[in-house]
């Protein structure tokens, strides 16, 4: 009997999960919060775009979560930490960390400890929006192929934007950094005891989706392109990496030091790092025709296509071979804020306690679609897909003197559902089939109202992943394949994943009303999110009032 361990580094905490390789049974798990900043995120009150993390928090959470999960698993007969045959890691991203020559994050040095620019640049940091726009511009001019596969827009959430921003805003940090390592690569390299950034095994997932890496053009962007941005970026290229790998290649084997710290056998394989939703998609049983939605503070959408069949899809962030399941191309899209929007509404605007989520949800559940007369845009943190523009903001239209906060709460949920529908329609428009949707993430577990609204808005049945720890499960599956417990990923997924029996099915009547509201959402989406585009929005408020009247009359 063999077991593997999956460790999921989320935005606010890390979670370790012990899994039985034969059937995916989950034996024990443990969550460890990051200790610094606000819920683990370092903020700057002068710049709302900034979001960083202290790398030391990851190490503390790694130890706490793994030891806790092993302790929990020990309650199961037949389990022993000695039987753990591999470890897999997934993280947020793009979250690059400036490191020294020994692969040690600058922030772990006393000198840089308090410097925000020397920390991990968290995925949701948008300080580099100017740099992202310039990269898009230069690529369009010099290397259009570079961005064709990421929706023709390079994002401020990504690797090169962030590093270039650091160079501009904090040149001393840039200079002190020998290299930069994605969090998804860095944690496995720590477990494998790698003390040279040049020897860190880099995953195709972070490289391909965020760093413009592709075998098509020989790896990372060439020096001529990087020099056009800044010659110092071209010089950095030599200190990054030449190749990136899919999950058939391990990141290394567990070093003695960390084996001792975690209480695991030394030498077992450490799977290559992937982003949370990518291993999460594996944990949801992704295959061709499936869309996996990981719905949390933000949402990520993943789909697979056999090699050679993927068109470039405008506005979809990434299409990378092998970045989820080896042998398949992966499409990734997403919404920059989902749960974050609901939290913002309740915490920052309504000043509510944690129980207010339940109260407003209960109230909103009694409302019919269209009854509030509201429609919102879900861009409080910009728009990742399909506009790929962080310089967009939230919008709410239709308020009257009777509008309640529960109505606005529901309108915000609906806005994220409309955003989800935009993505589904864009992917389908380019010939990629979506026949089945599997949702994971905290919200898909805890918010049946949202799930039903998503089904009604999209017209698709929403399945829920069998595991509520799909990301960690996927990482554990990656380790199980490496450890030889299964022949390949598809067979490992068949054995180790499932969906819940109960699913959310669309209701035809509610869907008709949502089709009318969606038309208004699209008008606003195109009107505010387009480029120098004139739109007729003069009937939006009246149409919302008509939908409201029809909804109340029904």
Binding site for a copy of itself (CB under 8 A): 46, 48, 337, 340-341, 344, 348-351, 373, 379-381, 391-405, 408, 527-542, 544-545, 552
Supply the minimum distance, in Å, between the C-beta of residue 540 and a copy of itself.
6
Which lies closer to a copy of itself via its Cβ, residue 51 or residue 99? 51
Which lies closer to a copy of itself via its Cβ, residue 384 or residue 486? 384
Residues 57/13, Cβ–Cβ less than 8 Å: no
Which lies closer to a copy of itself via its Cβ, residue 90 or residue 414? 414
Which lies closer to a copy of itself via its Cβ, residue 61 or residue 413? 413
Supply the minimum distance, in Å, between the C-beta of residue 542 and a copy of itself.
5
Supply the minimum distance, in Å, between the C-beta of residue 136 and a copy of itself.
15
Calpha distance 7→186 (Å, rounded): 13
Helix (H, G, I), strand (E, B) or coil at 408: helix
Residues 127/44, Cβ–Cβ less than 8 Å: no
Tokens of 1: 């009997």
Q: Which residues contact 518 (CB under 8 A, 6 or more apart)?
A: 418, 421, 457
Which lies closer to a copy of itself via its Cβ, residue 130 or residue 237? 130
Which lies closer to a copy of itself via its Cβ, residue 191 or residue 443? 443
CA 348 from chain centre, in angstroms, equals 23
Which lies closer to a copy of itself via its Cβ, residue 403 or residue 515? 403
Calpha distance 14→31 (Å, rounded): 6
Calpha distance 478→489 (Å, rounded): 8
Task: Give strand pairing partners of 332.
Answer: 302, 318
Which lies closer to a copy of itself via its Cβ, residue 75 or residue 532? 532
Calpha distance 241→181 (Å, rounded): 10
> Phi and psi at residue 133, in whole multiples of 5°?
-65, -40
Supply the minimum distance, in Å, between the C-beta of residue 343 and a copy of itself.
8
Sheet with 462-464, strands from edge to edge, namely 318-321, 329-335, 299-305, 290-295, 436-440, 462-464
Which lies closer to a copy of itself via its Cβ, residue 461 or residue 539? 539
Supply the minimum distance, in Å, between the C-beta of residue 177 and a copy of itself.
27
Calpha distance 494→485 (Å, rounded): 13
> Phi and psi at residue 284, in whole multiples of 5°?
-95, 5
Which lies closer to a copy of itself via its Cβ, residue 217 or residue 528? 528
CA dihedral 197, 132, 157, 275 (to 10 degrees): -50
In sign, the C-alpha dihedral spanning 488, 326, 304, 448 is: positive
How far CA 271 is from CA of 277, 292, 322, 446, in Å, comes to 16, 22, 14, 30
Supply the minimum distance, in Å, between the C-beta of residue 376 and a copy of itself.
9
Which lies closer to a copy of itself via its Cβ, residue 112 or residue 379? 379
Supply the minimum distance, in Å, between the C-beta of residue 366 and a copy of itself.
13
CA nearest to 505, candidates 465, 454, 554, 468: 454
Helix (H, G, I), strand (E, B) or coil at 465: strand
Q: Is 194 exposed, middle or buried (0-12, 13-18, 19+ CB in 10 A)?
A: buried
Residues 352/393, Cβ–Cβ less than 8 Å: no
Supply the minimum distance, in Å, between the C-beta of residue 394 and a copy of itself.
3
């Amino acid at each position: 009997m063999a077991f593997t361990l999956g460790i999921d580094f989320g935005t606010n905490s890390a979670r370790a999960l012990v899994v039985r390789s034969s059937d995916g049974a989950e034996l024990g798990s443990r969550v460890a919060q990051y200790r610094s900043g606000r819920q683990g995120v370092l903020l700057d009150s002068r710049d709302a775009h900034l979001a960083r993390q202290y790398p030391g928090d990851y190490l503390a959470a790694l130890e706490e979560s793994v030891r806790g999960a092993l302790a929990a698993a020990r309650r199961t007969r037949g389990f022993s930490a000695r039987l753990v045959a591999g470890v897999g890691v997934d993280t947020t991203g793009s979250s690059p960390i400036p490191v020294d020559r020994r692969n040690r994050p600058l922030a772990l040095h006393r000198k840089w400890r308090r410097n925000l620019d020397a920390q991990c640049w968290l995925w949701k940091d948008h300080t580099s929006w100017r740099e992202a726009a310039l990269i898009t511009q230069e690529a369009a001019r010099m290397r259009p192929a570079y961005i064709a596969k990421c929706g023709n827009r390079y994002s401020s959430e990504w690797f090169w934007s962030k590093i270039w921003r650091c160079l501009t805003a904090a040149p001393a940090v840039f200079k002190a950094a020998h290299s930069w390592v994605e969090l998804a690569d860095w944690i496995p390299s720590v477990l494998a005891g790698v003390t040279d950034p040049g020897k860190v095994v880099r995953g195709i997932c972070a490289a391909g989706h965020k760093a413009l890496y592709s075998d098509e053009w020989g790896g990372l962007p060439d020096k001529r392109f990087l020099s056009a941005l800044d010659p110092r970026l071209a010089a950095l290229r030599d200190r990054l990496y030449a190749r990136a790998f899919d999950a058939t290649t391990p990141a290394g084997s567990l070093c003695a030091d960390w084996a001792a710290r975690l209480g695991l056998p030394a030498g077992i394989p450490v799977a290559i790092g992937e982003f949370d939703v990518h291993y999460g998609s594996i944990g949801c049983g992704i295959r061709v025709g499936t869309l996996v939605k990981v719905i949390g503070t933000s949402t990520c959408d993943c789909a697979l296509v056999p090699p050679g069949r993927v068109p470039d899809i405008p506005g979809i962030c990434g299409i990378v071979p092998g970045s989820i399941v080896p042998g398949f191309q992966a499409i990734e899209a997403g919404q920059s804020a989902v749960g974050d929007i609901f939290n913002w509404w309740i915490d920052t605007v309504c000043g509510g306690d944690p129980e207010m989520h339940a109260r407003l949800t209960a109230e909103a559940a009694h409302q019919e679609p269209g009854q509030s007369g509201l429609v919102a845009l879900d861009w409080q943190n910009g728009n990742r897909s399909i506009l790929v523009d962080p310089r967009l903001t939230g919008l709410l239209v239709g308020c009257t003197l009777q509008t309640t906060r529960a109505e606005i709460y529901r309108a915000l949920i609906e806005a994220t559902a409309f955003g989800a529908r935009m993505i589904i329609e864009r992917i389908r428009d380019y010939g990629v089939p979506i026949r089945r949707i599997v949702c994971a993430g905290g919200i898909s577990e805890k918010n049946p109202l949202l799930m039903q609204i998503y089904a009604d808005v999209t017209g698709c049945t929403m399945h829920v992943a069998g595991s509520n720890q799909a990301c960690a499960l996927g990482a554990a599956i990656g380790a199980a394949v490496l450890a030889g417990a299964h022949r390949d990923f598809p067979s490992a997924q068949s054995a180790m994943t499932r969906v819940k029996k109960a699913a959310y099915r669309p209701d035809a009547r509610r869907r008709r009303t949502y089709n009318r509201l969606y038309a208004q959402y699209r008008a606003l989406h195109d009107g505010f999110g387009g480029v120098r585009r004139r739109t007729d929005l003069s009937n939006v408020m009246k149409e919302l009032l008509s939908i409201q009247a029809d909804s109340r009359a029904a």
